């Protein structure tokens, strides 16, 4: 068992090294909420999906709103059978394709320029860090709706409307930790109305560099909840 744990720790460090080489969008658009998932959050999300859920290795994986490809490339690195990355923005997809060459995973991800509404098919696992709907109300709901339609298991990040100061403090203390929290009543209903079940919700601190005018500080910090949905 010790050896397996050691191997996984090394794999997580290697994964984070790879994710940090995935370039961000050169000119992110605020209307599409194009910020890149921080390396520590992507690493942990992929780690949970791969080693807690067993939902990456030999699975078909969809990264919805893939941006420049961190989650998709991480899934390919961890042994997914196939990976598709979809984004409405052509520049994101061009950078994602360059990124796959940069990290030695060329040809391992199918990159597609498409709106989330156009996605169809069936995937074992959907990973998504969707627009949170800060700019366009309901944007994350469109993503969740689609993910639940096409994915057997869904790992989806959603902005927490209000984070208590104690939770923030704990997450700041160890920024790569995820803390188990209760689902929002709205999202729980949303998921259950579609015949699905929330398997777990984990809060995580997101710290992204200031990129848009509506970010007032140098670093924009907020709490996101990772929803794991199956059923």
Instruction: From 66-74, 100-108, 181-189, 205-213, give the range in contact with ligand SAM by CB under 6 A.
Output: 66-74
Q: Applying CB under 6 A, does 116 fall inside the site for ligand SAM?
A: yes
Q: Applying CB under 6 A, does 196 fall inside the site for ligand SAM?
A: no
Between CA 116 and CA 95 the distance in angstroms is 19
Between CA 98 and CA 96 the distance in angstroms is 5
| Torsion-angle region of 140 (φ positive above 0: left; ψ -120 to 50: alpha; else: beta) | alpha
- Residues in 144-183 that interact with ligand SAM by CB under 6 A: none
Q: Applying CB under 6 A, does 37 fall inside the site for ligand SAM?
A: yes
Q: What number of chain residues touch ligand SAM (CB under 6 A)?
A: 20
- The residue (of 35 and 178) whose beta carbon lies closer to ligand SAM is 35
List the 219-230 sheet strands across, edge first. Answer: 109-113, 82-87, 60-64, 123-128, 151-159, 219-230, 197-209, 179-180
Residue 129 to residues 86, 94, 153: CA-CA distances in angstroms?
12, 19, 15
The phi and psi torsions of 76 (rounded to 5 degrees) equal: -65, -40
- The residue (of 66 and 109) whose beta carbon lies closer to ligand SAM is 66
Q: What is the CA radius of gyration of the chain?
A: 16
**Can you tell me which of 12, 35, 191, 223 binds ligand SAM, judged by CB under 6 A?**
35
Closest approach of Cβ 41 to ligand SAM, in Å? 8
Token pair in block for residue 64: 């919805």
The stretches of 61-202 forming alpha helices (DSSP H) are 70-77, 90-102, 139-150, 165-173, 185-193
Q: Applying CB under 6 A, does 36 fall inside the site for ligand SAM?
A: yes
Closest approach of Cβ 223 to ligand SAM, in Å? 15
Q: Applying CB under 6 A, does 32 fall inside the site for ligand SAM?
A: yes
- The residue (of 55 and 140) whose beta carbon lies closer to ligand SAM is 140
Please report, as ranges, the residues that interact with ligand SAM according to CB under 6 A. Answer: 32-37, 65-67, 70-71, 87-89, 92, 115-116, 129-131
């Amino acid at each position: 068992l010790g050896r397996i744990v050691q191997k996984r720790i090394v794999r997580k460090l290697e994964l984070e090294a790879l994710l940090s080489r995935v370039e961000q969008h050169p000119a992110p658009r605020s209307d599409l909420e194009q910020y890149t998932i921080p390396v520590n959050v992507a690493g942990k999300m992929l780690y949970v999906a791969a080693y807690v859920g067993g939902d990456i290795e030999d699975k078909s994986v969809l990264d919805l709103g893939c941006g420049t490809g961190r989650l998709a490339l991480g899934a390919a690195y961890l042994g997914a059978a196939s990976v598709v990355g979809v984004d409405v923005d052509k520049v994101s997809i061009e950078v994602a394709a360059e990124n796959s060459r940069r990290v030695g995973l060329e040809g391992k991800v199918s990159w597609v320029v498409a709106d989330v509404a156009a996605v169809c098919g069936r995937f074992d696992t959907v990973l998504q860090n969707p627009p949170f709907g800060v700019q366009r109300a309901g944007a994350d709901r469109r993503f969740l709706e689609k993910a639940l339609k096409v994915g057997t298991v869904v790992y989806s990040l959603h902005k927490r409307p209000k984070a208590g100061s104690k939770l923030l403090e704990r997450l700041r203390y160890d920024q790569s930790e995820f803390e188990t929290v209760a689902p929002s009543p709205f999202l729980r209903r949303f998921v259950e109305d579609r015949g699905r079940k929330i398997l777990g919700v984990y809060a995580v601190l997101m710290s992204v560099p200031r990129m848009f005018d509506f970010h007032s500080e140098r670093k924009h910090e907020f709490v996101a909840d990772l929803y794991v949905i199956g059923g």
